[in-house]
Amino acid sequence: MSHNHQDALWRGFPKALPEFEAKFSTEDACRAYLAQCRWNGEPHCKRCASAKVWCERDGTLYECATCGHQTSLTSGTLFHGTRKPLKLWFRAIWEVVVHRTGISAADLQRILGLGSYETAWTWLHRIRRAMVCEDREKLKGCVQIDEAFVGGKGREKEMVLVLSEEYGRVRLIHMPGNHEACIGDVVKKEIAADASTKSDGHAAYNTVTLDKREHQAKVQSKAELREGDHLQQCHWSVSRLKRWLLGTHNGAVRAKHLQSYLDEDAFRYNRRNTKGVGRLVARCLQNMLSQDPLTMRQLIDDTGECRLFAEVSY
């Protein structure tokens, strides 16, 4: 989908709940919106890209007149395999993304009347995957970098790398370590080459990890912190994250799923100034269609700690 079309859908999306409920009151309305997101409203064949397709099963299946390939509106997306109404999915995404502190799986199950906790839990993780844009813009300007540790008492704490534009966007990354190779990979992926950086005195923040970026390193005493925090944005982000994990989720976040919770917190914070909370739903719906399917079995068996580094050995 083109950026212009995507932006038009975002701008025209309902901003408040009454308008949202009126617009997406039927399955047909939900399917029509997803078709606009996925194909600009004109379905085409996934195999041969032909636009000569016809609709079957009340708009849930499309068959290509050229090669005979069949595809559905939700196949190959985070909606893949669902048997629940799209209207219920739309409402679930609304409930998750518009509330400042999000909701737990138990709350989602209760609000939507889902039959099992496992279904609500899986839906929440699918929605969290849709909170990350595949082509998101790198952090710019002056970027603060710091490490933090999260986790409850009686278990090993998990390391999170915090990258924060000064008064701008934030990235939260579950890290396997704070050594040069690991930090360098994150910096290269998340921070623009012409950005400047700030950090504490950790030795891994050097020309190897930060390349040619301008860098200000400062070891702060408690007295200096009171006068003016060198990494204030990072420290605010960590404080907010810990309050949210303890408040909404009672600290019951397993290490293997921590990155998904970090993505949710960053998504909501980075869009804190969006005018019209409904537009957060629009972004999430667009990303639901661009991400690969995710099943409960994958979440349980195939998800590991620090999953952004799953294919890298340090």
Question: Does residue 61 form part of some domain?
Answer: no
Q: With bands split at pLDDT 50, 70 and 90, how would you rate the model's confidence at 310?
A: confident
Same domain, 148 and 92: no
> For all residues of the chain together, what is the average pLDDT?
91
Question: Does residue 216 form part of some domain?
Answer: yes
Question: Does residue 44 form part of some domain?
Answer: no
Same domain, 114 and 208: no
In terms of pLDDT, which residue wins out, 45 or 4? 45
Q: Is the pLDDT of residue 195 over 90?
A: yes
Q: With bands split at pLDDT 50, 70 and 90, how would you rate the model's confidence at 153?
A: low
Same domain, 162 and 111: no
The predicted pLDDT at position 7 comes to 80
The predicted pLDDT at position 5 comes to 73
DSSP label at 156? P
**Closest by Cα among 176, 157, 125 to 300:** 125
Same domain, 175 and 246: yes
- Cβ atoms 150, 245 nearer than 8 A: yes
Same domain, 104 and 165: no
Average pLDDT for residues 135-156, to the nearest whole number? 88
Q: Which of 114-118, 151-155, 267-271, 287-291 has the lowest mean pLDDT?
A: 151-155
Question: Does residue 60 form part of some domain?
Answer: no
pLDDT tens-digit profile of 53-108?
878 766 678 888 889 888 888 989 999 999 999 999 999 999 999 988 889 999 99
Q: Is the pLDDT of residue 236 over 80?
A: yes
Same domain, 266 and 278: no
The predicted pLDDT at position 95 comes to 95
Same domain, 260 and 293: no
What domain count does the chain have?
Answer: 2
Q: With bands split at pLDDT 50, 70 and 90, how would you rate the model's confidence at 314?
A: low
The predicted pLDDT at position 56 comes to 76
The predicted pLDDT at position 155 comes to 66
Q: Is the pLDDT of residue 8 over 90?
A: no
Same domain, 121 and 171: no
Question: Does residue 186 form part of some domain?
Answer: yes
Between the CA of residue 219 and those of 161, 203, 224, 246, what are the distances in Å?
Answer: 17, 11, 9, 29
User: What domain range is 243 assigned to?
Assistant: 142-270
What pTM was computed for the model? Answer: 0.91
The predicted pLDDT at position 127 comes to 98
Q: With bands split at pLDDT 50, 70 and 90, how would you rate the model's confidence at 1?
A: low
**Two tokens, residue 215:** 């860098």
Question: Does residue 265 form part of some domain?
Answer: yes
Same domain, 155 and 174: yes
Same domain, 7 and 111: yes
Q: Is the pLDDT of residue 224 over 80?
A: no
Question: At residue 175, what is the residue type?
Answer: M
**Two tokens, residue 123:** 């839906």
Q: With bands split at pLDDT 50, 70 and 90, how would you rate the model's confidence at 152?
A: low
Average pLDDT for residues 258-269, to the nearest whole number? 96
pLDDT tens-digit profile of 160-177?
999 999 989 999 999 999
Rounded Cα distance, 163 and 182, in Å: 14
pLDDT tens-digit profile of 120-133?
999 999 999 999 99
All residues at 6 or more sequence positions from 276 whose CB lies less than 8 Å from its CB, including other chains: 13, 14, 15, 16
In terms of pLDDT, which residue wins out, 56 or 219? 219
Helical ranges in the chain per DSSP H: 3-11, 17-23, 27-39, 86-98, 105-112, 117-129, 180-190, 207-210, 222-227, 232-247, 258-270, 278-290, 296-301
Supply the CATH number for residue 160's domain. 3.30.420.10
Average pLDDT for residues 8-27, to the nearest whole number? 93
Average pLDDT for residues 6-22, to the nearest whole number? 91
Same domain, 313 and 220: no
Same domain, 118 and 181: no
Share of the chain above pLDDT 70, in %: 95
Rounded Cα distance, 209 and 232, in Å: 22
